[in-house]
Amino acid sequence: MEGPVAWAVSRWGTDPYARGAWTGLLLGGTTADRAKLAAPVDERVVLAGEGVHPTSPAMVHGAYESGRTAAAHLMSTARPGQSVAVVGAGIAGLAAARLLYEHGQRVRVVEARDRIGGRIRSVDLGGVTADLGAAWLQQYPRNPLARVARALRLSTVATDFAAPLPLSSDGPVSGVDEALTALRQHAAARTADADTTVAEVLAAHRARLDPARVRVLDYAVAAAITLESGLDFTTASARGTFGEPGVGEGDRWVPAGLSRLCDALADGLDVALNHPVTGVTSDPGGVTVHGAWGRLRTDRAVLAVPLAVLPTLALDPPLPDGHAFALARIGTGQAEKVLLRYRERFWPASPGGYLWWGEDRPTWNEWADLTDGLGVPVLALIAAGDAARVLHGHRPDADVVADAHAAVLRLSRAT
């Protein structure tokens, strides 16, 4: 079978301005930690991003809402026409800047990369667009970005995350839903009185199962739990991993690419690209944002960088103890994606556009079939946790693509 005619490979784990994919709670962490980080650092500085949204973390609209909340915090005490620096032109930073701009503040966005969007990155695959980072508008019926997409007249396509086509190198897999239900029930009972790690929950649950059910459980964990988290299970909170919201609530994707939303939010804003920030100083007179490019003095600032990046900034004064404690209980999961465009679809079609794949090696366990929405054969293969580090890491793109194509061939033969 002919290989892909176009492709793209993500590197979120080694990207210094991302340092991972999305956030999750570490042992003992709670939504209160996210809420604490969302509270203003002081009257001049506030944080924004998916990691500080208490009810929709790890989601694009959580980042968007967080940015607007951060802007509202500053506007509650700001005078009209004050200057605000927004550090980061991901969707959280753009949402904050847009609202501040619309309410008469003088806003400048400084972005480290040579593009806007942050962990949203739409790429060209030989004439069609696909998302190499964040891709879905989750919880679509109540997602505020759904209104933005409709205003831009962008079409959306549903993905049924609740009904994957489960395949493995041994053929179709049965009993996955039952295995996940039993695991979640065990996790709820195990953490009723106190939090523990995901690793401890898994070990205790596996010890109760026969070898056949252990094999199904391991498949289910790799395809569902690891992909939802991306964290090291020896440090990940079981309460958080099994309790925070995830996919499966009317999720939809945008064939034109999520970058269209970022472009709309950025329209008319003053955005300085290639401006990596290394430090932020807040004093009674204002805020100074600086980097190798120079210094920017403003009245206030929104720090809309990923939580994994925040510790790399020299903050003066440092984060208050409450914020620092909360930050230490939130981790960033590892997840990577490969986009493959083919001349024809030779793999099995899933009615919901979603497949799971498992084999006795690190692999891309989650697959989204974008063919019907794009009109040409395109697969998005996603790996998380240790598999993401093994499969992507510092390997050349060509090697990653060759391995991903080989996985597609193995899947096609397993049906």
Instruction: Write out the DSSP string of 20-84.
Output: SSEEEEBTT--HHHHHHHHS-SSSSEEE-SGGG-SSSTTSHHHHHHHHHHHHHHHHTTPPTT-EE
Q: What sign results for the dihedral spanned by CA atoms 64, 65, 68, 70? A: negative
Give the DSSP letter of residue 197. B
The stretch 165-187 carries a mean pLDDT of 94
Contact 330, 51 (CB under 8 A): yes
Please compute, for residue 95, the number of CA atoms within 13 A of its CA located in the half-sphere on the CB side: 26
Q: Which residues contact 35 (CB under 8 A, 6 or more apart)?
A: 52, 54
Total residue length of the chain? 415
Contact 198, 229 (CB under 8 A): yes
Helix (H) / strand (E) element for 238: namely helix 238-243
pLDDT tens digits for 126-169?
A: 999 999 999 999 999 999 999 999 999 999 999 999 899 999 98
pLDDT tens digits for 36-45?
A: 999 999 999 9
Contact 230, 20 (CB under 8 A): yes
Counting the structural domains of the chain, the total is 2
132 Cα distance to chain centroid: 11
Domain shared by 240 and 341, yes or no: yes
Distances (CA, A) of 98 to 10, 61, 147, 395: 28, 15, 16, 38
Residue 415 has pLDDT above 80, yes or no: no
Residue 63 has pLDDT above 90, yes or no: yes
pLDDT tens digits for 381-396?
A: 999 999 999 999 989 9
Q: Please name which of 163, 167, 161 lies closest in space to residue 410, comparing C-alpha atoms.
A: 167
Please compute, for residue 353, the number of CA atoms within 13 A of its CA located in the half-sphere on the CB side: 20
Helix (H) / strand (E) element for 150: namely helix 144-151
Domain shared by 101 and 208, yes or no: no
pTM passes above 0.85:
yes
Domain shared by 242 and 342, yes or no: yes
> Is 131 inside a domain boundary?
no
Give the DSSP letter of residue 221. I
Task: Give the CATH number of the domain where residue 272 resides.
Answer: 3.50.50.60
Predicted pLDDT of residue 402: 98
| Range scoring the smallest mean pLDDT among 4-18, 102-116, 161-175 | 161-175
Domain shared by 347 and 233, yes or no: yes
Task: State the Cα–Cα distance between residues 11 and 393, nearest whole angstrom.
Answer: 8
Predicted pLDDT of residue 79: 84
> 266-294: buried (b, 16+ CB within 10 Å) or exposed (e) per residue?
beebebeeebbbeebbbeeebbbbbbeee
Domain shared by 204 and 276, yes or no: no
pLDDT tens digits for 218-271?
A: 999 999 999 999 999 999 999 999 998 776 678 999 999 999 999 999 999 999
Contact 309, 113 (CB under 8 A): no
Residue 203 has pLDDT above 80, yes or no: yes
> Is 283 inside a domain boundary?
yes
Q: Which amino acid would we find at residue 133? A: G
The stretch 277-290 carries a mean pLDDT of 97
Identify each DSSP E strand in 294-386 by its residue range.
294-298, 300-303, 314-316, 330-333, 335-341, 354-358, 366-369, 378-384
pLDDT tens digits for 19-56?
A: 999 999 999 999 999 999 999 999 999 999 999 999 99
Mean pLDDT score across all residues of the chain: 96
Domain shared by 354 and 275, yes or no: no
Q: Which of 289, 314, 332 is the last residue of a domain?
A: 332
Percentage of residues in the chain with pLDDT exceeding 70? 100
Predicted pLDDT of residue 244: 87
Q: What is the CA radius of gyration of the chain?
A: 21
pLDDT tier, 170 (very low <50, low <70, confident <90, very high otherwise): confident
- The first and second tokens of residue 3, run together, are 């290989």
> Is 293 inside a domain boundary?
yes
Instruction: Write out the DSSP string of 72-125.
Output: HHHHTTPPTT-EEEEE--BHHHHHHHHHHHHTT-EEEEE-SSSSSBTT--EEES
Residue 328 has pLDDT above 90, yes or no: yes
Domain shared by 113 and 27, yes or no: yes
357 Cα distance to chain centroid: 21
Domain shared by 33 and 102, yes or no: yes
Q: Please name which of 141, 403, 89, 116 lies closest in space to residue 249, comparing C-alpha atoms.
A: 141
What domain range includes position 406? 162-246+334-413
Q: Which amino acid would we find at residue 380? A: A
pLDDT tens digits for 293-317?
A: 999 999 999 999 999 999 999 999 9
Domain shared by 51 and 119, yes or no: yes
Q: 3-class DSSP state for residue 289?
A: strand
Q: Which of 332, 354, 375 is the last residue of a domain?
A: 332
Domain shared by 238 and 356, yes or no: yes
Task: State the Cα–Cα distance between residues 332 and 323, nearest whole angstrom.
Answer: 16
pLDDT tens digits for 354-412?
A: 999 999 999 999 999 999 999 999 999 999 999 999 999 989 999 999 999 999 999 99
Instruction: Write out the DSSP string of 403-414.
Output: HHHHHHHHHHH-
Predicted pLDDT of residue 248: 64
Q: Which residues contact 34 (CB under 8 A, 6 or more apart)?
A: 51, 52, 53, 54, 57, 326, 330
Q: Which of 300, 332, 364 is the last residue of a domain?
A: 332
Q: How many CB atoms lie within 10 A of CB 219?
A: 23
pLDDT tier, 121 (very low <50, low <70, confident <90, very high otherwise): very high
Residue 57 has pLDDT above 70, yes or no: yes
Please compute, for residue 68, the number of CA atoms within 13 A of its CA located in the half-sphere on the CB side: 10
- The first and second tokens of residue 210, run together, are 């026969």
Give the DSSP letter of residue 320. P
